[in-house]
Structure 1
Amino acid sequence: MYPEGVRADGLPAVLSDPVRLAALAASGQIGSGPERVFDDLARLAASVTGCGIAAITFVGEHRTFWKSVPHLPFGGFEAWQNAVGESFCYFPVGMGGPFIVEDAADDPRTAGHPAIGPWGVGAWAGFPIESPDGYAIGSMCVIDAAPRAWKAEDLDTLALLTRAVSNEVNHRVSLETARVALRVAQDALTQSAELARSLQESLLPPVLRPVPGVDSAARYLPASGEVSVVGDFYDLFQARGPWWTAVLGDVCGKGTDAAKVTALARYTLRADAGEHLSPAVVLDRLNTAMLAQRAPRFLTAVQVTFRTTQAGIAGRVCLAGHPPALLRRADGRVQQLGASGMLLGVFERVELDDVRFRLGPGDLLLLYTDGACEARPDPDGPRPPRPIFDEDALARALGETHGLDAAATVDRLATVLAEYHGGFASDDTALLAIRATVR
């Protein structure tokens, strides 16, 4: 990907790669000031590794731009940058991978480097921040004042946090056009509501990635009333090789705290699902990450890992304090799927179990949040009181959709729910359907 060699000033030639520089410019981070989301990740990196300094920087051709250096007060954009050769931040960019130094003064790669004294570098560890195309545009690092041998678990955590930084930056790029349009199009009151909804939608994939041999669809149904950011989310992505992961969750509460936990959950699940094909293991690791980062909200989730077979779909499902999945057979029979498990973000040890399942041609698996099984009629509506639309009602409604594809199924369920509550939804609802196609 990168040209080999060094520049005339002795620094890696990749720093001047025009494609890399274009990716850096597209990130929108040059000239941006500190933000809490990045500061939180940097502080977490320092806390986990026991280092006095953690930093997130973006590396240009001749200058390094500081994004987060929590131990220093922000001195303005001009002050928060330096010549690219005056820090170690270019090393991960030049290498396209981690750069780990246990004794900066003694290591032949860094001995005599001008950054050692000003930054008090005894030991240094950093990973590259990458664009969607894999170009290294910056680095996240921690600095210890004394030489040290880095623990493998500390480096694993730093790598995970760096991926979270990359995901945050890249996700912002994809949303920038929509955000600009919203800022221009709405007046102050409408703009506030739309931005809240935009943030909610930014936590959901706008379009599900196609899976060969699988028909999938998802819908997010917002609650009625004041627009706010809530914690319902879903995702569908390739985990590893032929294996795919579908996940749907519900974070307790609303607002920015819920959004932060939702983002943490999506980043962690995507990072870990490729390493562990057991949903129970992945959700357990998410629980550990939530506790380590002192997540302000707990969540429930259902995760499915599956692959296509000659007979349809084979996979495993795990429930973490979440309502059971519903399996609709091609003939309309509906059954619950999953073993009850503990919610995430509260207890250090959680009991979670995988349950295996198979889908034949035409069979469909439905994941949903509790808004779909706790729908209530509008209390101020003209209709007489009716019981809650519970899990049994949802199962009956799903059974009546047999023969429909995934998109038509979630659309029909959305209509059923809207008709039941009379247009006043008391809670947000997310629906995700996965159907085995006929070969």
Structure 2
Amino acid sequence: MTYRPAGHLRLTPVDEEAPRRAQRLRRLGLGERPDPEFDAFAQRLTQVTQAPYGMVNFIDEHRQFFAGLHTPTGTFTGTYPGGRSAGAEGGLPRFLARDHGYCPHVVVRRKALVLEDVCDYPRFAGNPVVDEIGIRSYLGAPLIDRTGTVLGTVCVADTRPRPWGRAGLDTIKAMAAELVDKIHRYEDGTPPAV
């Protein structure tokens, strides 16, 4: 863990695998544009967990990109390839800085993260998504592909504390494994049906 010059705990861990991840994402053609199939997967995440936010998040050296995104209103900013609107203005952006949210922690840790109430953890309570979006709970798992590269995460979040429990942890890990399998099939020449 590193500290900022002002003496505050740094919110985002150092990610030494970021260049390798970015190269792998480019090779797979992921992390640059929204995908309606990933949006459908994010929506399914919210349905299964009954959380208002669901995301398929790919992370490179500089930013996070929600290739799949579902919000409480079903709206978000961004466009699908070809310029077709991805939703009304006023929702989450498709890109976030690496110091926003909890997915960068999942990627560096290489294991799932369960935060039933982010305010219970000083390290996480000061994250910008708490004030900017109102996030109070988070559940995420890494997308580790066949090369051992953590491509990103699948995650859900809520604006109220949530007792995710063991069932929530098992669910998010199973859904991450399902999506990695679909990405592998896509890489092998079979388009994923997410």
TMscore range, shorter length = 0.7 to 0.9
Larger RCO, structures 1/2 (Cα 8 Å, 6+ apart): 2
Give the distance between the partners of 1:27 and 1:80, measured in 2 at CA. Answer: 19
Show the counterpart of 2:78.
75
Matched, 1:127 2:160: no
Shift in Å at residue 31 of structure 1? Answer: 1.3
Question: Which entry has the higher C-alpha Rg, 1 or 2?
Answer: 1
Give the distance between the partners of 2:3 and 2:61, measured in 1 at CA. Answer: 11
Shift in Å at residue 7 of structure 1? Answer: 9.2
TM-score, structure 2 as length reference: 0.78
RMSD value, Cα: 2.5
Instruction: Map 1:28-427 onto structure 2 (within 5 A).
Output: 28-36=29-37, 38-71=38-71, 72-76=75-79, 79-175=93-189, 202=190, 260=193
Write the deviation string for residues 290-311 of structure 1: whole angstroms up to 9, x where unpaired: xxxxxxxxxxxxxxxxxxxxxx
Aligned residue for 1:51, secondary structure, equals: coil
Write the deviation string for residues 244-298 of structure 1: whole angstroms up to 9, x where unpaired: xxxxxxxxxxxxxxx95xx8xxxxxxxxxxxxxxxxxxxxxxxxxxxxxxxxxxx
Give the distance between the partners of 1:144 and 1:163, measured in 2 at CA. Answer: 22
Segments of structure 2 that go 5 or more residues without pairing to the other structure are: 81-92
Relative to 1, partners in 2 of residues 1:7 and 1:32: Cα closer, same or farther, differing over 3 Å?
farther
Give the distance between the partners of 2:125 and 2:3, measured in 1 at CA. Answer: 20
Aligned residue for 1:105, secondary structure, equals: helix
Relative to 1, partners in 2 of residues 1:151 and 1:16: Cα closer, same or farther, differing over 3 Å?
closer
Percent identical: 24
Aligned residue for 2:65, secondary structure, equals: strand
Show the counterpart of 2:89.
none
* Aligned positions, number: 174
TM-score, structure 1 as length reference: 0.37
Aligned residue for 1:109, secondary structure, equals: helix
Give the distance between the partners of 1:80 and 1:101, measured in 2 at CA. Answer: 22
Conserved 8 A contact 2:46-2:70:
no
Give the distance between the partners of 1:18 and 1:108, measured in 2 at CA. Answer: 29
Give the distance between the partners of 1:101 and 1:95, measured in 2 at CA. Answer: 14
Shift in Å at residue 8 of structure 1? Answer: 7.5
Aligned residue for 2:120, secondary structure, equals: coil
Shift in Å at residue 67 of structure 1? Answer: 0.8
Conserved 8 A contact 1:128-1:162:
yes
Write the deviation string for residues 103-148 of structure 1: whole angstroms up to 9, x where unpaired: 1122123021111122221110100112211221211111121112
Conserved 8 A contact 1:125-1:142:
yes
Pick the structure with more strand per residue.
1
Aligned residue for 1:41, secondary structure, equals: helix
Conserved 8 A contact 1:126-1:140:
yes
